[in-house]
Amino acid sequence: GAGVSQSPRYKVAKRGQDVALRCDPISGHVSLFWYQQALGQGPEFLTYFQNEAQLDKSGLPSDRFFAERPEGSVSTLKIQRTQQEDSAVYLCASSLNGGAGRNEQFFGPGTRLTVL
Amino acid sequence: ELKVEQNPLFLSMQEGKNYTIYCNYSTTSDRLYWYRQDPGKSLESLFVLLSNGAVKQEGRLMASLDTKARLSTLHITAAVHDLSATYFCAVDLIYNQGGKLIFGQGTELSVKP
């Protein structure tokens, strides 16, 4: 079956522009995670959904970052008024279950965001 | 705060040689993951280690976990060029925090003929 997909794969934004990044998880996966990977670094956790509920958003770096998963499937990460420090690869991952289940996470190809 | 540290961060090896990458973490966790990332690509799962003393092998790679020492190792045997990539270890938080992963900095491996 299909893996995790993300779109767009590449996004160039002018500073101050709003962007929206999409993640399609593996069908049936309950948990969805967003990570930010700066150049030369490991991914860093941003936020986590279990179905449509956002259970942890402790990693979001500022109130310019907003994520949603309204129907418990597709998720969108929105960044308002982008800044140069937002330039990174944004990775989405899904797992069959979370919480006590804590299944393995499968990662999408990522969206590379460049803010000029 | 959970910290995950890998060493070395950069590793240049000759084909045919053996080497070990180390992953230390700072607090209790019972699950450790190893991922591979090729340039410009996403993360590919290599191993999931679920308990103390777990050892898994796939081809030229072998991973182990010592939860008492809070240490995992990724051993490379008789390296080949195809293994050139960045390797990440990651742990998840044990206390029902949804399984978010905390990653190490990554080890960039270059295997030369």
pLDDT at B94: 58
* Interface membership of B93 toward A (CB under 8 Å): no
Query: Minimal Cα distance from A59: which residue of B?
Result: B100
d(CA B113, CA B111): 7
Mutate to test the interface with A, among B33, B42, B50 (most CBs of A within 10 A): B42
- Inter-chain touch B43–A48, beta carbons under 8 Å: no
pLDDT at A99: 56
Position B2 pLDDT exceeds 90: no
Minimum-distance CB partner of A109 among B42, B97, B101: B42
B90 chain-A contacts, CB cut-off 8 A: 42
pLDDT at B92: 82
Of the pLDDT bands very low, low, confident and very high (cuts 50, 70, 90), residue B23 is: very high
Better-scored residue on pLDDT, A37 or B98: A37
The residues near B65 (Cβ < 8 Å, ≥ 6 apart) are: B32, B49, B51, B52, B53, B54, B55, B71, B72
Position A100 pLDDT exceeds 70: no
Q: How far is CA B71 from the centre of its chain?
A: 10
Query: Minimal Cα distance from A95: which residue of B?
Result: B99
Tens-digit pLDDT profile for residues A53-73: 999 999 999 999 999 999 999
Minimum-distance CB partner of B104 among A35, A40, A42: A42
Better-scored residue on pLDDT, A31 or B92: A31
Q: What is the mean pLDDT of residues B11-33?
A: 90
Position A2 pLDDT exceeds 90: no
Position A26 pLDDT exceeds 80: yes
Query: Minimal Cα distance from B47: which residue of A?
Result: A104
- Inter-chain touch A31–B103, beta carbons under 8 Å: no
Q: Which three-class secondary structure string do you get for chain A? A: CCCCEEECCEEEECCCCCEEEEEECCCCCCEEEEEEECCCCCCEEEEEEECCEEEECCCCCCCCEEEECCCCCCEEEEECCCCHHHCEEEEEEEECCCCCCCCCCEECCCEEEEEC
pLDDT at B80: 95
Tens-digit pLDDT profile for residues A76-95: 999 999 999 999 999 999 99
* Interface membership of B36 toward A (CB under 8 Å): no
Of the pLDDT bands very low, low, confident and very high (cuts 50, 70, 90), residue B29 is: confident
d(CA B78, CA B18): 5
Q: Do the beta carbons of residue B72 and residue B14 sit within 8 Å?
A: no
Minimum-distance CB partner of A41 among B31, B48, B105: B105
- Inter-chain touch A107–B92, beta carbons under 8 Å: no
